[in-house]
Structure 1
Amino acid sequence: MKKFFLLLLTVSAICTAQKPVDLSYYLPENVTYDPNIPTPESVIGHQVGQWHVYHSKLAQYMKALAAASDRITIEDRGKTFEDRPLLLLTITSPKNHQNIDQLRQDHLDFASGNSSKNANDLPIVVYQGFSIHGNEPSGANAGLLAAYHLAAAQGPEIDALLNDVIVLFDPSYNPDGLSRFAYWANTNKSIHLNTDGNDREFSEVWPGGRTNHYWFDMNRDWLPVQLPESRARIASFHKWMPNILTDHHEMGTNSTFFFQPGVPSRTNPLTPKMNQQLTKEISQFHIYALDKIGSLYYAEEGFDDFYYGKGSTFPDVNGGIGILFEQGSSRGHAQESENGVVTFPFSIRNQFTAALSTLAAAKSMRTKILNYQRSFYSDAKKEAASDRNKAIVFGDEKDAAKAYHLAEILKRHQIKVHELKSDFSQKGKKYKKGYSYIIPMQQQNYKLVKAMFNRQTNFQDSIFYDISAWTFPLAFNLDHANLTNLNQAGAEITDLKAPSPSINKSNYAYLFEWHEYYTPKALHKILKKGLRAKVGATPFKLNGVNYDYGTIMVPVQNQKLKSDALFDFLKEVASESHLKITGVNTGNTVGIDLGSNDFDALTLPKVAMLVGDGVASYDAGEIWHLFDTRYEMNVTKIDSRNFGNTNLSKYTHFILPNTWGGLREQDSKKLKTWVQGGGTLIGFRNAVSWLKQKEFIKLEFKKNDMDAENIKFEQRRNFRGAQVTGGAIFEANIDRSHPINFGYKNDKVSLFRNTNIHIKPDKNSYNNPIKYSSKPLLAGYISEENLDSLKNTVPFQTKRLGRGRVTVFTDNTNFRAFWYGTNKLMMNAIFFSKMM
C-alpha cells in the first residue's frame, strides 16, 4: 500500500508538470493588473514556463511593454556576435521618467560626495539582470513576469515602490546562449513530459548553451570587459552606478535555492564589511518571500565573493551590493530530483519571487544603502590620500598596442588615465610616451584600481569558486611600477586613440620587429597575399636601430607585387595592425646581414583545431576568438565526431585544446601519422598528459603525493579543494633566443596557471626556453605542496616526431581573452615551428 501511494504521488507530480500554469501561479496575491498592459502570453504565444522562451520573443515582449507602459523606456545598446540586440529597460514611475537624466546625475553626484542632497530625496538604483549563462534560463523566463508585474501592477504599493526605485532591467545577459539552449530544450521536449534525468532533453550537445558565441563564460568578463555583451552592461553600470545588482543563475538539479551572502571567509578583503552586513540584511527579505511560497533555500555556503569579474562581486568594488541567486535547475521542462520533480515553472517562480524581494529590500533599505555607497567612495578617497603610492605607471617600450588595450579596459571602467609628459626610466625599465600610461591613485575608483593591480598571495581561505589572481599588468606582461608622485604625468586622456602606424617606402626591404601585439596579424596578411617574408633568428643593428630576435623582413625584389604596389599593401597592413614598418635601402648591417642564412623563410600556416566531445569548450573558444577577432586568421574547427573522415594533409598545424577525453584509438593513430609526415601538433593543459600517454612526446612529470593525515571526514572536501590550483600567476625565466619567445623583450614572463601538471626540465638546458623560477608565485593561491612541485619545472616543451613536431603547453596562453601577454607564445608555436 505504501509503495502504491508513493507511485501515485510520483505520477501525480509528473502529470502536474505537464499541465501549463497560468499567471496566478507566479504573481503575488491581492494585486490587480492593468488590462491595457499585454501579458507575456499575448505576445510570445504561450504561458510562461510552458516553453523555453527564445531571445527573439523575449525581446519582442520587452518592446511591447515599453510601447504600452509609461513606466518603461527601452534602449538597444548594441549587438551580440550573432547580431541579437542587447536591450536595457529603465523601469520607474512616470514622474521619475520625466526627470530621469537629472535623477541620474543627482545619484552620481550624491554617491561621489559632490551633492548636498539628502538620501531621503533620492530614489535607489537597482540593476536586475538575468541568465548570463544561457542554459540557466529560469532567470530570463522569470524576467517576463518581473517586467510584466512592474509595468502592470496597480495600487499604492507599486506606486510607492516605483517612486523610490529606478530599475535597470537587463532581460538577458547572454542572448546567444539563451537562444541556443531554448532550441535544445524545446526540440527535445515530449508532449508527455519525461522527468527521467537520463533523457536527452537534459543532456545538451557540445558546447551547450552556457556560453556566448565564442564559448566564453560571460560571468567572468565583468572586469576584463572583452566581449560585446559585457561592454554594453559595463557602460550601463558606470553610467548609473547602481546600488544593488542581481545576477540570476541556476545550479544542480538536486540543489534548492541559494542567495548571498556567500562563505564569509571567501570575501575579497577590499570589500567593506558593511557590504556583507547589508547583503545579509537584504537576505531577510528573500527568506520572508521564499518562506511564504514554501521554497527551500540556503545562504553562506558554497559560493564566494572573491573574484571581482563576476556579476555578484563586481558591484562590491564599485560601491554597490552584488547579489547572486542560484536556483536548482530543471535543465529542461521537468526533472526528477532529491527534492521531488523540479518543474521549469517552479524554478521560474523562485527567481521571480527573489526579483521582487530584492526590490522590496531596496525600497525598505533605500537611505541606508544610498548612504553606504556615498561612504564607500568617501572612505576610498581617504585611503587614496594616505596611500604612499600616488600613481601607477605601466607600459612596454616595444609594444604600444598591449599598453593601449589595458588603458582601454581602464577607460571602460571610468578610471582616469594620463599620458606621459616625456620618456623616463623607473627601476631599470624605460617608459615611453605613447607606449605607457599613468594612473593617479587619487580618484573615485581607487579601490577598483587596487583590485585590478593587486598582487595578493596570502589568503584567509584556501577554497576558491573561481580564480585567485587576475593582476592586469601581469596578464598583459607589461612593465609597471608604483610612483610616489605625479611628476611624470601629462594630461588626462579623454579620447584614447589606438597606436599610430608608420611606414616609409623602400626599393630594397621592409623590417618590423616582432614585439608589437598585432605582428601575427600583419605577418599572416603578408603571407596570405603570397609575398615572401623571413624572420631573423639573431639580433642586428641597421641605421642606428637595434633589431631584436624575431624581426620580420619583407624583401622588395622577386615579389608578386611591384615596388609601388608592395608599398601600398604594406601601408595598409601597417594601418590595420598599428605597426611601425621601416623601409631600408641596404642589407649591410652590424650583425647578420639581411641576406644571411640566419633569416629563415616563412610559409603560410593552415591551422585546424579539435572541438566537440572531450574538449574544454572554454579553451577552444578562447583560441577561436583570438584567431578570428584579433589576428583575422582562420582556424578550422574539426569536431571529434568527424575527425576520422577528415583529410589532415591540407593543414600545417593542429591544435589540441584542453581535453579530458582525447581521441579514439584509430583517430590517435591517424593524428600521429600526420605528425610524422611533417605536421605540427600543439597541445594545451590536460592534452599534455594524453599526448605523453599516447607516446606522441616523451615527458617526465613531477608528482606530488599528498597524504590526508589528521583530516576528518567532514573536512575531506576542503582538503581536496585546497590542492586545486584554480587560477594563479607565476613567474618563468625565458631564453629570448628561442623562437617560442620571439617578441618578448624581458627575460621573464608572467604565466597564468590553473593545472597541476609539472613537467621536469629536459637534460639539455637549451630545450627549456621557458622555466618556472625557484620562487615562481607572483599572485594568487597555490598550496605549499603544489608550489614546491612547480619550482624549476617547465610549462613548455617541443620535440620532433618523425618529420613533424609536437609542442605542449601546460598553461593556458589565451585565458579569458584578456591574457594578452602570452597570446604570442601560441602564435610563435605556429609561425616559427620549423625553427624550433
Structure 2
Amino acid sequence: MHKIEVEVAQKEFSISAVDYWTGKEVLRKLPQGTLIVKLAQPNGRLAKVMMEFDPRMPLSFLQQERRELEKNGESKIYDVTGWSMPIAYGLEAYWSRTLPSVNTAPATMPTRPQGKLENPNAKYGFLLDATDERAMHALSLMLSRNCKVVAAKKPFEIEGRAYTRGSLLLRKNENDQNLVATLSEIAKETGVTLYGVSTALASKGPDLGGGEFVLLAMPRIALVFGDGVDPTSFAPIWHLLDARFRQRVSLLNASNIGAYDLQRYNIIILPSGNYQSTLGTRGISVLRTWVEQGGTLIAIEEAAAFLADTARAFTTVRLRSQALKELSTYETALKLEENITKKLDSLEIWEPRKKEVEKPDTKDEKSAAKKDDEMLKIEDERIKLFMPRGALLAVKLDEEHWLAFGAGEKVAATIFTPHIYLSKSPVETAGRFADAENLRVSGLLWQEARSGWAKSAYLMREAKGRGQVILFAGEPNFRAYYHATERLLLNAIYYGVGFGTRRSVEW
C-alpha cells in the first residue's frame, strides 16, 4: 500500500539491535522469516516515521512547551507524542545501526490465514490457544452460535501441545451434534486453528474435566453514546464490535439511561466522556442497581474518572488528587501486593544472617517528615500540569488475572489524561504502570509526572454485589489500531460475564 520495501531473512542470524522496552543495544539471535525494513530506500523516511520507536522532539520546542505550561498552564501539544506501529500492535521488533549479514528475499503480500479444525474425529473436545490474536473473534462467533465454551484458569499441556491461561475448550458432550461443522466454519472465517483431543487427562496442569475451567456467556452489549460522550472514544469501540466482530450491540443514549430496560444487557460500556450532567443522580442509581444485580460496567478513561470520583463513590478506586492524605496507605498496600511476586532467596530462609540496621540520619529530621497538605496539593497540581499527552507508558500485567489472558506480561498503553488511579484490595489490579525508571516507552513524559504515574493503576476490576466494575485509565482501543491493549478490552467483554459475575439464572 505504501510501497515500502520489506525483505525476509532466509535463515537465522545474529545482530546487535535495540528493543523498545529497554532501549538497550545487545547481540540478538533472530529466526528465519524475520522481516527486515531497510531505511536506505525511496520510502525510507516514511518507513522510519511509521516504525520509529521513540521519536524525539527538538529541545527548542520543549523549551517553548515548558514555558507555556509554567506561564499560562496551557500546552502547545494537540496530538499524541508517542506513536509507533510495532508498539501499537505489540510486535517483537528491533532497530539496528547495522545491516544484517543474511540472505534475504523480497517479502510478498501475506495471504489470509487458512484456519482449520485438526483431528475433527476427536472423542473428547476441541481446544483453541488464547494467545492467538484471532481467538477472541472466534470466541464471539462460538458464543453467538450457542456453543458451550469454557476457558482455562491455568496453563496446561495435553497431547503434545501447551495451552496458556484463557485457552478455550469445547467439550463434545456439552454441545450439539453439529459442533464439528460449526467449528470448521468458524476456523475458516477467522483463520484460527482448533485442535481436537481424545482425552481429558493433561500431561501437565489441570485435567480438562476438572474445576479449573470457567463457563463463558454470550455478552449482551450496550454501548453508551450521546451528549458528553467523546466520539473519538465511542467510534473505535463501535467499529471494533460492529464492523470487525459483527457483534450485536445496542446503543443507549446517556441522557435517557434510566428509561431503558437494562436487564436485557449483561455488559454496558461507557466510552470516555463527561457524564456529569447527562447521567445525573438517577442514571447513576440505575447503573449501580444494575451492576449489583449481576451486570458488568466497563468505563474508559474520563468515564473511569467519573466513577472513581468521591462524589459518586461508585468504586473504592480513588483518584490520586482526592487521596493525597492517604498516599502512605496505598504505598503500604502496593508493597504487600508486590510481595506476591517477590523472588525468594533460599539462604535467607534456611541460613539467615543478621543484617546491620541502618541508623536514621538525625541531622535533618524535618526532611524525613511527611509532606504537609499544602505541599502535597502543589505537587499534585504540577503532576496534572505536566501530565502525559499521548505518551506510551509501560503497563505490567498480572498474567494470572483473566483480564490479562493472552496479552503477555506487559503492554504499552497510550495515556492522554491528568487522572491517576490508586487501588488496593479488594480492588483487583490486572494492569499497573511500571516503576519510574521503566515507565516511559515512547513520547513526552516530564519528570514531574513520573513519580505520580509510576506504579499507579491502569486496569482495575472490583466486585459489586453479583456484578463488577472494570476501569481503564486510558483508551485501550485508541484510534482502533492499538491492538496490544485492545486485547484487554476484549477480555473484559468476552471473559467478563463468565469470570467476573454471579447470576442466579442463565442470561
The TM-score with structure 1 as length reference comes to 0.47
Shift of 1:721: 10
State the 1:609 CA deviation: 1.3
Structure 1 pair 428/623, CA: closer, same or farther in 2 (3 Å)? farther
Q: Secondary structure in 1 aligned to 2:251? A: strand
Q: Does structure 1 residue 727 correspond to structure 2 residue 390?
A: yes
Structure 1 residue aligned with 2:291, among 668, 672, 675?
Answer: 675
Structure-2 residue corresponding to 1:835 = 499
- 1:491-570 to structure 2, matched below 5 A, reads 491-504=105-118, 505=120, 506-560=122-176, 562=177, 565-570=178-183
Q: How has the CA–CA distance of structure 1 residues 731 and 603 changed in structure 2, closer, same or farther, with 3 Å as cutoff?
A: same
Q: Contact between 2:308 and 2:319, CA under 8 Å: does it hold in 1?
A: no
Which residue of the other structure, out of 307, 311, 315, is the alignment partner of 1:697? 315
C-alpha distance in 1, partners of 2:5/2:318? 48
Is the 8 Å Cα contact of residues 797 and 809 (structure 1) preserved in structure 2? yes
**1:655 alignment partner, one of 269, 282, 290:** 269
| 1:600 aligned partner, one-letter code | V
Equivalences for residues 480-495 of structure 1 within 5 A: 480-483=93-96, 484-487=98-101, 490-495=104-109
Is structure 2 residue 339 aligned with structure 1 residue 741?
Answer: no
In the alignment, the residues of structure 1 paired with residue 235 and residue 27 of structure 2 have an alpha-carbon distance, to the nearest angstrom, of 38
Cα displacement (A) at 1:424: 6.8
SS at match of 2:272: coil
Separation (CA, whole Å) in 2 of partners of 1:628 and 1:430: 41
1:413 lines up with 2:2 in the alignment: yes
- Other structure's SS at 1:554 match: strand
2:449 — aligned with what?
A: 786
Q: Which residue of 2 aligns with 1:585?
A: 198
Structure 1 residue 446 and structure 2 residue 110: aligned? no
- Counterparts of 1:166-185 in structure 2 under 5 Å? none
RMSD: 2.6
SS in 2 for 1:788: helix
Residue number in structure 1 paired with 2:430: 769
The residue that corresponds to 1:456 in the other structure is 55
Cα deviation, 1:186-222, whole Å, max 9, x if unaligned, reads xxxxxxxxxxxxxxxxxxxxxxxxxxxxxxxxxxxxx
Question: Could you tell me how far 1:660 is from its partner in structure 2?
Answer: 1.0
Residues 160-171 of structure 1 aligned to structure 2 (within 5 Å): none
Q: Aligned pair in 2 of structure 1 residues 570, 458: CA closer, same or farther (>3 Å)?
A: same
Cα offset, 1:600, TM superposition: 0.7
CA contact 1:675–1:806 (8 Å) conserved in 2: yes
Q: Is the 8 A contact 1:423 1:433 kept in 2?
A: yes
**Alpha carbons of 1:600 and 1:424: their partners in 2 closer, same or farther (altered >3 Å)?**
farther
Contact 2:429 2:461 in 1 (8 A): no
Q: 2:89 aligns with which of 457, 476, 495?
A: 476
Identify the residue that residue 685 of structure 1 maps to in structure 2: 301
Could you report, residue by residue, the CA deviation over 1:707-750 in whole angstroms, capped at 9, with x for unpaired residues? 799xxxxxxxxx999635321101111111110110123x2211
Percent of aligned pairs with the same amino acid: 26
Q: Does 1:756 align with 2:418?
A: yes
- 1:749-790 Cα offsets, whole Å, 9 max, x none, are 1111111211124257x9332111112011111222222211
Task: State the Cα distance separating 1:557 from its structure 2 match.
Answer: 1.9
* Letter paired with 1:451: V
Structure 1 regions of 5+ residues with no counterpart?
A: 1-411, 710-718
In structure 2, relative to structure 1, the CA distance for the partners of 1:792 and 1:670 (3 Å cut) is same
**CA distance in 2 between partners of 1:629 and 1:756 (Å):** 31
Shift of 1:500: 3.0
Please report how far the alpha carbon of residue 621 of structure 1 lies from its aligned counterpart in structure 2 after TM superposition: 0.7
| Distance of aligned partners of 1:428 and 1:613 in 2 relative to their CA distance in 1, 3 Å threshold | farther
CA contact (8 A) 1:511 1:583 kept: yes
Shift of 1:432: 6.2
Structure 1 residue 706: deviation in Å?
4.7
Tell me the alpha carbon deviations over residues 654-711 of structure 1, each in whole angstroms, 9 at most, x when there is no partner. 01111212412111111111011110101011111211231221112223745799xx
1:545 deviation in Å? 1.4
Asked whether the 8 Å contact 1:701–1:760 carries over to 2, the reply is: yes
Higher mean displacement: 727-736 or 480-489: 480-489
Q: Distance in 2 between matches of 1:431 and 1:683?
A: 40
For CA contacts below 8 A with separation 6 or more, give which structure has more relative contact order. 2
Distance in 2 separating the partners of 1:650 and 1:613: 23
Q: Deviations over 1:430-455 (max 9, x none)?
A: 86667x53323332111112212221
> Residues 521 and 633 of structure 1 are in contact (CA less than 8 Å); yes or no, is this contact kept in structure 2?
no
Q: Is the 8 A contact 1:756 1:786 kept in 2?
A: no
Q: Larger helix proportion, structure 1 or 2?
A: 1
8 Å Cα contact 2:383-2:448 kept in structure 1: no
1:822 partner amino acid: T
Asked which structure has the greater CA Rg, the reply is: 1
- Report the Cα distance in structure 2 between the residues aligned to 1:479 and 1:602, rounded to whole angstroms: 31
In 1, Cα distance between equivalents of 2:103 and 2:2: 20
Matched residue count: 410
CA 1:617–1:550: 2 relative to 1, 3 Å: same
Assess if the C-alpha contact under 8 Å between 1:440 and 1:486 holds in 2.
Answer: no
Tell me, which stretches of 5 or more residues in structure 2 are unaligned?
Answer: 16-25, 66-75, 322-375, 501-507
Q: Structure 1 residues 420, 627: closer, same or farther in 2, change over 3 A?
A: farther
C-alpha offsets along residues 22-60 of structure 1, whole Å, 9 cap, x if unaligned?
A: xxxxxxxxxxxxxxxxxxxxxxxxxxxxxxxxxxxxxxx
